[in-house]
Amino acid sequence: MAANDLKGRSVLAIVSTYGVEQDELLVPVGHLRDNGATVDVAATADEPVRTLVGDKDPGKTVQPDTTLDEVEPSGYDLLLIPGGTLNADTLRQDGRAVAAVESFALTERPVAAICHGPWTVVEAGAARGKMLTSYPSLRTDIRNAGGDWVDQPVVSDSTGGWTLITSRRPADLDAFLRETEKALVTAP
């Protein structure tokens, strides 16, 4: 993709302040920004975001652009939910994060979730009738929520009028970014 192909498009990335998988946040945010998209990172609190590598090793610290309290999800073209077990577990218990997923699904705007990120999609009731992938430990949660879990690097499902892009792990980021870009270019 050439630089500025995503100019005029906006992405909301939602994270907790501790435990987001470093590459699942920084790689997509950097890639989308490099290709012209505006990306805002909204955290659960107004404090630095401490990332982890492999759910255990300290990663980079990121300053969020805004908070879940301050952000208005309706102003964005795509929702990005990075993984990290601790991050995803915190987000699925946060009503603001769940409401963001509900807002995107109801207004038929794309959601891109990687690794444990689909937990928030499950919590929002948005996995029902969708085919998706995730870190393998979410398989039963997704199936119990009415989703069809498959073990593939990336899945893009537009069932129900809105696109859900899911991926398994950092090693699948290239495929995840390819599908995320496609959804962002064609977003309403």
Q: Point out the residues that are catalytic.
A: 116
CA angle 68, 72, 74 (to 5 degrees): 130
Are 114 and 49 in contact by the 8 Å Cβ rule? The answer is no
The SS3 of residue 118 is: helix
Between CA 60 and CA 24 the distance in angstroms is 12
Residue 112 has phi, psi (to 5 degrees) of -120, 120
